[in-house]
Structure 1
Amino acid sequence: MKQTPRLIVIVMLLGEAGCHNLERSRSVDDPAVARRTIALQVCSNCHGMNGVSVSPMFPKLAAQPQEYLVAQLTDFRAHRRTDPNAQKFMWGFRHLSEAQIEELAAYFSTRPPPPATFGNSPLVDDGRAIYMAGIPSRGVAACSACHGANGAGLGVTPRLAGQHADYIVKQLMVFRNSGQRPRGDPMKPVSDNMSEQDMRSVAAFLEALPAPSASTDGHSTARLVP
């Protein structure tokens, strides 16, 4: 019981550092501040302590390719990403130095990948077909061609496996608005030719796609949770 007041104080302090309070994030403006300090005191309020966010409003950063994270943080700092949530939650991070961006990207890229969340089975099945083969009749390329069969991403291509389904759908809609995510412009013709149902199917499949596990022959494999 004696620890209760201390616990309340800690919770209150964390609350003050929330995503809506950009003044709190701006206070971490010393280039000498370590990546772990920023990640745990600021980023964690939206993205989770290990980069696995609870709310689908915020993407899971765990195990994202480091190069991808560097590119996105750089765009947030320069206000190149103009989608509504980027402006609302990330434009306040103009103070980040090059070193801090590199270190934050390195920190989250080395967190354990997010677990799979199995949802609507018919959607998952439809989404698997689209992800692996695309929709040739509408000119939609296979997602796996860029994001990999296991959805792990590479370089500036993001990891999609285990990501929140709602977040994936939201970003596919953002890609339709040319210029809001300049690095995502190659996705516009893909999202333009997908129906919302297509998007939700692919998103459900990806949310249910687990991290690859090492097989006995040394190659990685992925299996959906039944």
Structure 2
Amino acid sequence: MQDRSSFSTGRKARQALAGLFIAAASLAAHAQDLEAGKAKAQACVACHGADGNSVSPEFPSLAGQTWRYLYIQLRDFKEGRRSNAVMSPMAANLSRDDMINIANWFASMPLKSTDPVASEDKLKAGKAKTDETLCTMCHLGGFLGQNEIPRLAGQRPAYLVAQLKAFKARTRTNDAGNMTSVAQTLSEQDIDNVAAYLSSLR
């Protein structure tokens, strides 16, 4: 007759094996989702780059962005909370799964560094302004973002300028009011300095 200890050991082994199968299945599903996201993202590469690193100053890099932020922006374009002549129609026919897969694929791509183009004085002024406005309370240290809060480190400066100006002018309002409020305190020079500083981070 099998003793209690050997039965317990066998049960633990079976549980461990089941856990490995579940983990393997989850990894396979995740890989499949990334492949689906990559396939769907081919419509995005003309503006955002083949690997999510934009080669055009006016278009944001999506590589290394938080997946949840990307998903929410696609959803907002689809549902009209954010408007753009190119992005709104692009998002219109995406399903929820499409948006999640695209977001995860871009989030999985590494953001490539670019050399800072601003003067040291401008970078210092930008950092001082982000300290003054407590930007890291939401965007975290290093401006790497979290959940629904975007990564700003290494982003295209022209795009950052455009978005800060849009928040300030209230032509972009899908932020629950947080960025709209912050942007009201920034002068045009502040916006320029902040964008230069954020784009220089790695």
Q: Which TM class, normalised by the smaller chain length?
A: 0.7 to 0.9
The alpha-carbon deviation at position 114 of structure 1 amounts to: 3.0
Corresponding residue number in structure 2 for 1:69: 70
Give CA deviations for 1:7-42 in whole Å, capped at 9, x if unaligned.
xxxxxxxxxxxxxxxxxxxxxxxxxx9321121x21
User: Once the 2 structures are TM-superposed, how far is the Cα of residue 181 of structure 1 from its aligned partner?
Assistant: 2.8
Instruction: Say whether 1:172 aligns with 2:164.
Output: yes
Q: Pick closer, same or farther for the CA change 1:118–1:36 going to 2, 3 Å.
A: same
Shift of 1:56: 1.7
Gaps of at least 5 residues in structure 2 are 1-34
Alpha-carbon distance change, 174 to 118 in structure 1, aligned in 2, over 3 angstroms: same
Q: Residue 91 of structure 1 corresponds to which residue in structure 2?
A: 88
For residues 194-222 of structure 1, give each alpha carbon's deviation from its aligned partner in whole angstroms, at most 9, with x where no partner exists.
10111111111111111xxxxxxxxxxxx
* Pair 1:144 & 2:143 matched: no
Instruction: Indicate the SS of the match to 1:103.
Output: helix
RMSD of aligned Cα (Å): 1.5
**Equivalent residue pairs, number:** 166
CA distance in 2, matches of 1:178, 1:195: 15
**Partner letter of residue 135 of structure 2?**
C
Contact 2:167 2:173 in 1 (8 A): yes
Matched residue, 2:145? 153
User: Which residue identity lines up with residue 70 of structure 2 in the other structure?
Assistant: L
CA shift, 1:147, in A, is 0.9
- Per the alignment, in what secondary structure is the counterpart of residue 141 of structure 2? coil
More helix by percentage? 2
Does the 8 A contact of 1:169 with 1:200 survive in 2? yes
| Aligned equivalent of 2:58 | 57
Structure 1 residues 103-142: aligned runs within 5 Å? 103-120=101-118, 121-131=120-130, 133-134=131-132, 141-142=133-134
Equivalent-residue separation in structure 2 for 1:177 and 1:155 (angstroms): 25
Q: Aligned to 1:113, what secondary structure does the other structure show?
A: coil
Give the superposition deviation at 1:179.
Answer: 6.0
Paired with 1:124 and 1:73, the residues of 2 have a C-alpha distance of: 31
Distance in 2 (CA, whole Å) between partners of 1:75 and 1:177 is 19
* Structure 1 moving runs of 4+ over 6 Å: none
**CA drift at 1:177:** 3.2
Matches within 5 A, 1:25-40: 34-39=36-41
1:195 alignment counterpart: 187
> Which residue in the other structure is 1:204 paired with?
196
Instruction: Give the Cα separation in 2 of the matches to 1:183 and 1:160.
Output: 15
Identity %: 36
Secondary structure, counterpart of 1:142 in structure 2: coil
Q: Which has the larger radius of gyration?
A: 2
- Post-superposition offset of 1:184: 5.3
